[in-house]
Structure 1
Amino acid sequence: MTASTRNVAPALARDSTPSAPATSRVAGLDGLRAFAVAVVVAFHLTPGAVVGGYLGVDVFFVVSGFIITRLLLAERARTGGIRLGGFWRRRARRLLPALAVLLLVTSTVALFVGGDVLVGLGGQLFGAVTFSSNWYYIATGSDYFAETAPELYRNLWSLAVEEQFYLLWPVLVLLVIVRIARPTRIVLLAAATVASALAMALLLTPGDPTRVYYGTGTHAFGLTLGALLAVVSQWWSARPLEWPRAARRALGWAGAVALAGLVALAVWMPGTAEWTYSGGLQGVAVLTAVVITAALVPASPLARGLELPPLRWVGERSYGIYLWHWPVFVLLVAALPSWRADTGLAWALGGIAAAVTVVAAALSYRFIETPIRRDGFRAVARRWAAGWRRPGRAVVASATATLLVLAGTAGTAIALVTQPAESEVQQRIEEGQRALEQTPSPSPTPTADAEQPGPPVQLRGDQITAIGDSVMLAAVPELQAAFPGIQIDAAVSRQMSVAPDLIQGLRDAGALRPVVVLALGTNGSISVDALERVRQIIGPDRELVVVTAQAPRGWIPTVNQRLAAFAWQYRNVELADWYTAVQPHLGELARDQVHFGHVGAGIFTATIQEALQRLAALPPLRDEAADESLPRPV
């Protein structure tokens, strides 16, 4: 290597015009898109197999921020300006046709499937066409990692975030970014990235990440980091000899390690863990930026690996695959309710959904997306209109397209008119809430009458205080029928951490009964300290039943282990093992695998009843005073 070549650093040290046109295609990005969409699809279609697959969305964010900024800067370098109208028109060509077809087709299919898939359809469609889905789901309290209601277009939240970026970012680039010095650009974008990442971590509500996950500002760090990389790399050389060998080698290894890190996080990073939002997703964005940086190195081995034809094929169609996979899966699950996890057919259902998704995305790419992106809306419309004047296949194609559009429009309109107001799970929860509202206020703590005939104290409803979350709410009618007079205090999203204060309040008011039932493990982890505080508050004269939890959430195994150990430790504490009791009957649960209908509520009630019977069967404790008369060992 000559001295002149050896001393030339990448363009980080230069502020001259790029040596290669920034509009040139970046090798490897299609492969990175393929990885991103593959892990997202696996996360949704094979629940539990790839627990962190949702991170594919964050990979998309970084790639999108990089590409969009790179294109805008390249246009200004080439023409001296940025045509906002032209940019937005190209984005519309790219995004709108496939989205319109998806909405018309799946809304019409949802009409024939019926049931819960139609719940909230109008709001979801409005959010989809206005690219505000993320804010719609925030307003309605949707949880991306739960499935209380099968929201047909939940996956479009990320498209909304990207489109909001596409609308605002070109204006900022035109008015601000290109008008300030290069170091200031870098500092400004770095500050925006750090601010968004910190906002996600600091504004997180434990146990409920909905607001920070869906929020545009709290989830924009991937987009701004991609934009930052585009600004920094604008002056990097495309000639291999202008890169020091050590830099090429180091970035090559860094890119491979970063890609391996993304794979590891896709397998092991649960969406329910707090660290996911306090460093996990931010780390995903950084790792993705490292992979892109490595792909920018001329003759990059990593880029060549990501350019394999199958990966390129999937990457080019990744937008359509992402659009279709979730609505297809939701519709299949609703249409085939017997294909539940307990039947062993859940994976087959995911496989069918994947096959339908790939076919739909391929057809959309070939016949809708590509022609419109290449020729524009007007040219495609003219060809469609001309088809009516030609004999043979042209007129058949035009007629078929017209009929499909009319059928989709009519089906969507009917679906909007007939959509139900709420899902079955919501109906059950509201039914429980109404039942509680109609129940008289709790009376002071009753005293047991040993001479009174009837069931044991533990089986009499007027001796039981039950505290729970939405699972208990869904079982209120059955609990009240099994234990007339039972006192129930249940609320949606309640966690075990609030139990000590609730029980203390009831005790202070003289309304805490001799037997306390706690069912609060569904919505978050529990601490042994909280359980010990509960036991101290109820005192030695009362008995406690703790109920295990069933939910497809990462904290459930630990919750159930702690509850079982706590019940085993104390004589006056009994375990109602709802988790074990429901495993043979998972098909009776709702799609979220948490709530239930009448049959599931019966099993839940029977589990508590059996625990109470075990408590009633225990012999009474001996009187310590009487024990004083017994002979003592010498």
Structure 2
Amino acid sequence: MKYRPHIDGLRTVAIAPVVLFHADVALFSGGFTGVDIFFVISGFLITSLIVEEIAEDRFTIWNFYKRRFLRILPAYLVVIAAVVAASWFVLFPEETRALGRSVAAASLFVSNFYFWQSSDYFAPDVATAPLLHTWTLAVEEQYYLLLPLFLLLVARFLGRRYVVPIIVVSVLSFGLSVWGAVRYDSATFYLLPTRAWEFGLGSLAAVAGLADRGSARMRVTGALLGTALVAWSIFGLDEHATFPGANAIYPALGAMLLIACAEGTPVGRVLSTRLVVAIGRISYSLYLWHWPIIVFWKLRIDPALDVRDVAAICALSLLAAGLSYVFVEEPFRGRSMRLRPAFAVNATALGGLALAAGLGGGLVVGAEGWGGHSAEVRRIASYVDYRTDLEVHPCLIHARVPGQDRAFDPETCLPADPTRPTLLVMGDSHAEHLMPAIEEALPDLNLQFAASTGCTPTIDVEGEWYCPQVIGPVLREHVPQGGIDTVLLSTRWEAEDIEPLQETVDYLLTYVDRVVILGPTPEYLTSFPAILARNLHRDDAHMSRFLDPGIRALDHRMAGTDWNGASYVSLYDLICPDECRLLTKGGVPYLADYGHYTRASAREIVADLTERGVFAVD
């Protein structure tokens, strides 16, 4: 297969924004789209290789997987081993169990399924999972498992006319991706069926021979358009964009155009320069190493990265990638390894993966004895997994989480009782984390609860697609029926919620006597129990540097807003009068993650709010 240096250069265009996005460099807000560029490159290269060998009647499944194993596994297994070794010094038992599960999943190339299932709203922060990035490799391997069979079937039954079948599969996958990105965003992000079209664009470029066609003017135009699309995806998108779906067109189509058109153009010459190609050649190792380095840096040193941190992380990642390329990747891609029998290579590779999976299982079983932390540190750290096993309130609806994807039940959640004063609580999970304590502390009230994760309780309800199905009818149909004395609004407020919240207060006060707004909860940059345990391990009592300063600023702004008769209660002032509360009187961490209360802290907060008359109903 012809070597095209500009494709190695395109790998650099893919990996650099991924690293900088993961290192929290704001300029690269869409750097995650570098993964989509890699998918297109993989589709092009692997399809080109398979189709060429099929045409020459020398393609075999066993040799194909031998090459894949030699290309991917050595560095992959070295990084897994290094992550496990580093975890002894950094991770707590609950985090070690999660790592063990991810090691096993990565070893079986199903980590995309694992992280899809682990991205529960209340799960431990997957952003600090050292092997989170292996989901992309799992998707690629699943594609490599299916692609040869697909192409062989097309070659046999359709006379090697690949273009139309690839277009059909890609169109179906793209349609599924557009639909799923709105309703099932986590599954759509992680799973192959909604990503296959990106590989398909690369495959289409390969089988249609697009890289060797077109006039010079067309190629220059295509290369410039591809550059613009890729640049927009990297600098114009952000993590709030619906993705993949239609937005993935920018990086994927841009990559396809650069693959097909850039060679021989000014854009191609830039991509083919020595430094750009050199980084592209180590891009696989750089991808493998950069994320664990970032995760362990944040966990061990500081979750808030400054310029010096970013520079150090990039330097370490490049150093690790360079060493990995020279001493791990290259030896296994040499002539001596290529000449070894496919059976021996494949059997050894599968044995290595089995050992890695066993190592993951060992971490899960032996997590309590892993690492050298005191009993108190381990006790605090055990709350990292607190909300995962906690039964949430039955009236908190979350359409993406099995067991919480039921329809809202007004009869259960909005009970009528004219003999008692009625308090209606509305919001999202930041209302739910107080609800059990409210029910426990206020038995004389008739409590109604309407909440859906990620939803703002405003007339023009914002948030997930299912928010209007829960919040909207309660505000527009239930409240006007009367019988409600007080409405309590609590959610994960943002600055843009203030104006619609004022409109909602005016609306509510035409039907109820009293409206109470609970301000935002103090939030930490990552899991509070983990930060607290690590600070305790280091004998460092300073937690304020881990607070999100934007939440305090938002609380000040909301406290200074005229709410037209509604009562505003600052939870920030309650919890952080000077220094923030860290533990309850019983020694339980105040927060279970970045910003949700534990049941024990919720009881203390509700007791304080009750004493201040927040729940008083005439």
Q: TM-score, normalised by structure 1?
A: 0.69
Q: Structure 1 residues 587, 304: closer, same or farther in 2, change over 3 A?
A: farther
Query: Shift in Å at residue 580 of structure 1?
Result: 9.9
Aligned to 1:362: 322
Q: How does 1:196-275 map to 2 (within 5 A)?
A: 196-206=173-183, 209-233=185-209, 236=212, 247-274=215-242
Q: How does 1:9-28 map to 2 (within 5 A)?
A: 23-28=1-6
Query: Shift in Å at residue 301 of structure 1?
Result: 2.1
Query: Shift in Å at residue 88 of structure 1?
Result: 0.9
Asked if 1:499 corresponds to 2:471, the answer is yes
Q: Structure 1 residues 520, 266: closer, same or farther in 2, change over 3 A?
A: same
1:221/1:282 contact within 8 Å kept: no
2:123/2:385 contact within 8 Å kept: no
Q: How does 1:59-74 map to 2 (within 5 A)?
A: 59-74=37-52
Q: Structure 1 residues 375, 49: closer, same or farther in 2, change over 3 A?
A: same
Aligned to 1:427: 386
Q: How does 1:553-572 map to 2 (within 5 A)?
A: 571-572=564-565
Question: Which one of 417, 432, 435 corresponds to residue 444 of structure 1?
Answer: 417
Asked if 1:373 corresponds to 2:321, the answer is no
SS of the counterpart of 1:518? strand
Deviations 1:314-372 (A, max 9, x none): 11111111112222222222223xx243xxx5554444433332222222111111101
Question: Which one of 257, 260, 276 corresponds to residue 311 of structure 1?
Answer: 276
Q: Distance in 2 between matches of 1:535 and 1:446?
A: 27
Q: How does 1:452-601 map to 2 (within 5 A)?
A: 464-474=423-433, 487=447, 489=449, 493-496=453-456, 497=467, 498-502=470-474, 514-521=485-492, 536=507, 539-547=510-518, 571-576=564-569, 593-595=594-596
Which moved further from structure 2: 58-67 or 474-483?
A: 474-483
Any stretches of 5+ residues in structure 1 without a counterpart? 1-22, 238-242, 382-404, 449-462, 621-634
Aligned to 1:398: none
Q: Distance in 2 between matches of 1:531 and 1:55?
A: 37
Aligned to 1:397: none
Asked if 1:110 corresponds to 2:70, the answer is no
RMSD: 5.0
Q: Max radius of gyration: which structure?
A: 1
Q: Structure 1 residues 501, 346: closer, same or farther in 2, change over 3 A?
A: farther
1:103/1:125 contact within 8 Å kept: yes
Aligned to 2:167: 190
SS of the counterpart of 2:130? coil
Question: Which one of 285, 289, 292 corresponds to residue 256 of structure 2?
Answer: 289
Aligned to 2:287: 322
Deviations 1:420-458 (A, max 9, x none): 799735415755848999xx998836767xxxxxxxxxx
Query: Shift in Å at residue 120 of structure 1?
Result: 2.3
SS of the counterpart of 1:204? helix
Q: Distance in 2 between matches of 1:200 and 1:285?
A: 13
Query: Shift in Å at residue 514 of structure 1?
Result: 2.8
2:485/2:513 contact within 8 Å kept: yes
State, as a whole percentage, how many aligned pairs show the same letter: 24
Size of the aligned set, in residue pairs, is 531
2:42/2:202 contact within 8 Å kept: yes
Deviations 1:50-106 (A, max 9, x none): 2211100100000000011111222234x3341221111000001111111111110
Asked if 1:54 corresponds to 2:32, the answer is yes
Deviations 1:249-269 (A, max 9, x none): 332133133213312321221
SS of the counterpart of 2:425? strand
Q: Which letter maps to 1:293?
A: A
Q: TM-score, normalised by structure 2?
A: 0.71
2:18/2:34 contact within 8 Å kept: yes
Q: Which letter maps to 1:427?
A: Y
Q: Distance in 1 between matches of 2:316 and 2:426?
A: 45
Q: Which letter maps to 1:220?
A: A
Q: Distance in 2 between matches of 1:216 and 1:158?
A: 9
Q: Distance in 2 between matches of 1:235 and 1:70?
A: 11
Any stretches of 5+ residues in structure 2 without a counterpart? 342-352, 369-377, 397-412, 457-466, 526-549, 583-589
Q: Which letter maps to 1:516?
A: V
Q: Which letter maps to 1:176?
A: V
Q: Which letter maps to 1:308?
A: T
